[in-house]
Chains A and B, each alone.
Chain A
Amino acid sequence: MDLGQTTWEQAHLFERLYESLPDGILLMNANGEILRVNVQTEKLFGYSRKELLGQPVEILIPERFRAGHVGQRNAYHRDPRLRPMGAGLELFAKRKDGAEFPVDIMLSPFKTDEGMLVVAVVRDIKERKRAEHALQESRAMLEKLFESSPDGIVLVTSPEGRIVRVNAQAERISGYSRDELVGRSVDDFIPPRSRNPHGLNRLTYRPEDRAEGAGAILELYAKRKDGVEFPVEITCSPVETDDGEMVLGVVRDVTARKQAEDALRQSEERLRSIVETVKDYAIFTLDPEGRVTSWTPAAERIKGYRAEEIIGQHFSRFYPPEDIERGKPDQELRLVAEHGRFEDEGWRVRKNGSRFWANVVVTALRDNAGNLRGFSKITRDFTARKQAEEALLLEITSVLLSNLDIRRLLSAISACLSQVTPHDYSSLALYDPELRKLRLHLLNSPAGLDLNAEEMLIPFEGTPAGLSFSSRQPVVVDRLDDGRFTTSTIQHLIEAGIRSGCWLPLISHGRPLGTLGIASVKEGAFAKANLNLLSQVANQIALAIDNASAVSQINGLAQRLTEEKRYLEDELRTEYNFEEIIGESPALKRVLKQTETVAPTDATVLILGETGTGKELVARAIHNLSARRERTFVKLNCAAIPGGLLESELFGHEKGAFTGAISQKIGRLQLAHQGTLFLDEVGDIPLELQPKLLRALQEKEFERLGSTRTIPVDVRLIAATNRDLAKMVKDGQFRSDLYYRLRVFPIHLAPLRERPGDIPILVHHFVQKHARRMNKRISTIPPETMQALGRWHWPGNIREIENFIERAVILSPGSVLRVPLSELAEPEMRATELSTLEATEREHILRALREAKGVIAGPNGAAARLGLRRTTLNNKMRKLGITRKDF
């Protein structure tokens, strides 16, 4: 072996070892100058080898330690030896980037020919320091846990059982101080009756036996310093300590838990005892799939199954086959699982196949995490109740349906309700489609409940009745004053002492008619009400109301038809039978043109004209030419009705509206609905009635006397009068607003005296008419007769001429019309008229005489001025009693 070679290899091996060491290694001379470093040194300090060589070692030391380091280095050189540094010294080194890190340093002297060198092995202990710190924190935490544990912790020697250490809770639960506990045997804290087995247990203790706490099942007890025993749960685990193997015992005082468990057990026992002694309720439980898991004696009595034969079976066998086919049992469980509770009534089947009417309450059973664990079911046999209810319903139905008069029906409903449920208030709220509100009808109300007309109309919003009507569901209110419903109607109920109520929808043939309200002076009176029965009663009431309403409607229509028939019969009796308007004068043609123009419109027409000029005839012509001709033309002569009855005639009245109103009456306004109302002699309408008529015309609605119900009406109005309405307005005898409302389209009928050209044609017409009626043949009207008729001024107009001609036809024995011309000078009228003419004529003659200065004859005489012959004037003067002294 070549020694030189070997040395080189050794040197090379050393070099490789030197460079691959995990610690930094520095070679320094006595001055602290760095002579050599390995790779790890470069990594530790962040300097390159080149940067480090020749530098004082102090560059690797934080500035605050440098001053002392030189002295320490010199001291080391005086006494060089292998010396570890850093353990406990908290040495720090400094990187090139200024960061400091904890280090352990091992110094060893190294003698060379050039003197003593020092090898420093530098180890980064940052990770170790961190681990030590974590360990310290962990220990401190354990210590804290140890002391603050809610359980007593005892460290005892094994197997002797001598207590070495205890925590504060161990002191509290045992009653001994820490000093008293340490050094004692754990047997001292065990009741005497358990000491022997405990000693044996301790001696044979093996860690794996006590993986879980003892005592939970074993009923272990410990003994306090005062001798009192208490239940404990103990967990033991072996621990290795510096002093050898020991056992750590965790002792929990379970007195409170034991008490709670005992209370729970007693409670369960009581509950079980109650459940098992309940006879009328079949109480049992199901698993989530619906299999029976528990069964009570009452369930056995009601359903007929013994516990051993039904437990584990599916509960669907309790249902009738038709329900099973429809999947009702599973549907029921789904509903309960979803909503938590389900209540139902229906037929169920016993073991022997017989059926009974059951009231069933199913509740979902869930654990603390909310997982479904099963269901509890309570089934009551309601067969007897069902039969009683059906009997009651039958009776109610019979009573309700036999009352077709709505008033009697309301009384019947009130009587029926008292059989169904005790209450202090009941009402019906029926839907009024015109007002879109519910109209209240009180059936039974407490004293002091005073509702005005407005409060009898119930809105949908903010009322239990409205809510029930809208939702079509019963609404039960346990406290009316809970703030949910604040309308004045509800406030009045509360003020009258009502505290709770139940409102049920009245539905007939799928159509909501209104609601039934029942209320009580007690709070929550309907919380446990039999809503099923009440709903069935409500259904019967709805049906009865529907029937009564239909009957009332039919009666109403029949009454209206009767009224119409009576009216039309009256009309027939008084009919003038004008088939057409006779005449050819321009004045009449103008009227006919106006009639034709206004008829197709719905405009109000005011016909003005003297009596007998044919105002009604024109009104009928307007109606017959209008779109309303298929409907009724209703006439009311305002002058022919006593003032006190006019309102009733016009608007109708309710029964009892006034003394004498012995039945409901439909007014002319309503009779004329969709037709035409002709108000003749409209100027005779009493002033106090005029605003109501005006409102009816403008609003197209009115109320009957004695009623608050508004009746809409669609009527075309034609009014007529022979009075000077404008003057009446001026004199305050007629309201101006009504006048202008009527005077939309005025038609003036000229008196006959202003259209004498129509007299011959009228005479011929009436002669023909009455001759035919009297079965006479009149072919000749003498010319002088016609002239006389044409001269007469006819103050009674066409009515007068017709009556006159009728009389003439009666008096005519043959084919020539014989007219009693003497009648054309009716004494009083003529005297009045002539008196006026005479006065005028007299005054005119006197004026001419005065202008002629009393001269009668001659070209400038009065006779010439008057266009008369002298003798004629003289005769007139004699006749008029004019003498010289008069001029």
Chain B
Amino acid sequence: MLRITLLREPGPPMLKLEGKLSGPWVPELERSWNECLNEGLARPVQVDLSDVTFISTEGETLLKTMFQQGADLQSHSLMTQFILSQIKKDSNGNHNTGNGG
């Protein structure tokens, strides 16, 4: 299960995720993220993954997309930090490749 909470204040808007990012919660997060985008929230929208306990492959893909769309992925958890670093690394690599090609 994943709980998604949009915190509008204090500070910049932030999506706080708690639980497992997998299965049906991946499209649920995608829906929430799209709502944030459509709402025109101030960028960048922070995404706090500190309390995420599991991220599936689909979840990673979505986070990558979100990152590319301007999400500021953050986490205090070592495991998630590692995954995020991989996502950021891959995204930047792809981005660079894209620019290069």
Contact = CB atoms under 8 A, between A and B. Distances in A.
Interface stretch (A268-276, A615-623, A656-664, A796-804): A656-664
Nearest to A640: B53
Contacts of A662: 24-25, 28
Nearest to A658: B3
A660 B5 CA distance: 9
B34 to A, nearest CB: 12
Most buried by B among A642, A648, A661: A642
A659 B18 CA distance: 11
A644 B16 CA distance: 10
A648 B4 CA distance: 13
Given A658-B3, A659-B3, A659-B32, A645 B25 contact: no
Contacts of B62: none
Contact of B2 (A640, A643, A660): A660
A665 interface: yes
A643 B51 CA distance: 8
B37 interface: no
A662 B24 CA distance: 8
Contacts of B53: 640, 642
Contacts of B13: none
Nearest to B23: A662
Nearest to B24: A662
Contact of A658 (B5, B29, B51, B52): B5
Interface string B1-26: 11111100000000010110000110
B69 to A, nearest CB: 18
B1 A658 contact: no
A659 B6 CA distance: 9
B3 to A, nearest CB: 5
B1 to A, nearest CB: 7
Nearest to A705: B3
Please classify the interface of chain B as helix (H, G, I), strand (E, B), loop, or mixed, using the class held by over half of its residues: strand
A661 B29 CA distance: 11
B16 A660 contact: no
A328 B25 CA distance: 66
Interface string B22-48: 001100110010000000000000000
B1 A660 contact: yes
Interface in A447-486: none
Interface string A124-152: 00000000000000000000000000000
A659 B5 contact: yes
Contacts of B29: 660
Nearest to B53: A642
B2, B25, B52 — most chain A CB neighbours (10 Å): B2
Contacts of B4: 658-660
A394 B36 CA distance: 48
Contacts of A658: 3-5
A659 B19 contact: no
B51 A644 contact: yes
Contacts of A644: 3, 5, 16, 18, 51
Contacts of B2: 660
Nearest to B16: A644
Nearest to A659: B4
Interface residues of A, number: 12
A648 B3 contact: yes
Interface string A709-748: 0000000000000000000000000000000000000000
Residue from A643, A645, A648, A660 whose CB has the most chain B CB atoms within 10 Å: A660
Contacts of A660: 1-4, 19, 25, 28-29, 32
Interface in A596-650: 640, 642-645, 648
Of residues A640, A648, A659, A661, which shows the largest number of chain B Cβ atoms within 10 Å of its Cβ?
A659
A659 B3 CA distance: 6
A642 B75 CA distance: 13
Contacts of B25: 660, 662
A665 B1 contact: yes
Contacts of B32: 659-660
Contacts of B3: 642, 644-645, 648, 658-661
B28 A659 contact: yes
Contacts of B1: 645, 648, 660, 665
Given A658-B3, A659-B4, A660-B3, A645 B28 contact: no
Interface in A74-115: none
A118 to B, nearest CB: 141
A648 B19 CA distance: 11
A665 B32 CA distance: 20
Contacts of B24: 662
B18 to A, nearest CB: 4
A661 B25 CA distance: 9
B51 A642 contact: yes
B18 A645 contact: yes
A880 B18 CA distance: 50
B31 to A, nearest CB: 9
A648 B25 CA distance: 15
Interface in B48-77: 51-53
Contacts of A642: 3, 18-19, 51-53
A532 B66 CA distance: 61
A645 B21 CA distance: 13
A658 B19 CA distance: 13
A644, A658, A665: residue with the most chain B Cβ atoms closer than 10 Å: A644
A609 B1 CA distance: 31
A660 B1 CA distance: 7
A642 B24 CA distance: 19
B63 to A, nearest CB: 15
A764 to B, nearest CB: 36
B87 to A, nearest CB: 20
A860 B4 CA distance: 73
A647 to B, nearest CB: 9
Nearest to B51: A642
A488 to B, nearest CB: 35
Contacts of B6: 659
A651 to B, nearest CB: 13
B47 to A, nearest CB: 13
Interface string A655-676: 0001111100100000000000
Contacts of B52: 642
A706 to B, nearest CB: 12
B41 to A, nearest CB: 14
The CB with the most chain A CB atoms within 10 A, among B3, B19, B25, B52, is that of B3
Contacts of B16: 644
Nearest to B19: A645
A670 to B, nearest CB: 15
Nearest to A646: B18
A285 B6 CA distance: 78
Contacts of B18: 642-645
A685 to B, nearest CB: 15
B91 to A, nearest CB: 24
Contacts of A643: 18, 51
Nearest to B15: A659
A645 B2 CA distance: 8
B12 to A, nearest CB: 19
Contacts of B5: 644, 658-659
21 contacts: A642-B52, A642-B53, A643-B51, A644-B5, A644-B18, A644-B51, A645-B1, A645-B3, A645-B18, A645-B19, A645-B51, A648-B1, A659-B5, A659-B28, A660-B3, A660-B25, A660-B28, A660-B29, A660-B32, A662-B24, A662-B25
Given A644-B5, A659-B28, A660-B19, 18 more contacts: A642-B18, A642-B53, A644-B3, A644-B16, A644-B51, A645-B18, A645-B19, A645-B51, A648-B3, A658-B5, A659-B3, A659-B4, A660-B1, A660-B2, A660-B4, A660-B29, A661-B3, A662-B24
Interface of A: 640, 642-645, 648, 658-662, 665
Please name the 6 residue pairs, one residue from A and one from B, whose CB atoms are nearest each other, closest first. A642-B51, A642-B18, A659-B4, A644-B18, A660-B4, A660-B2
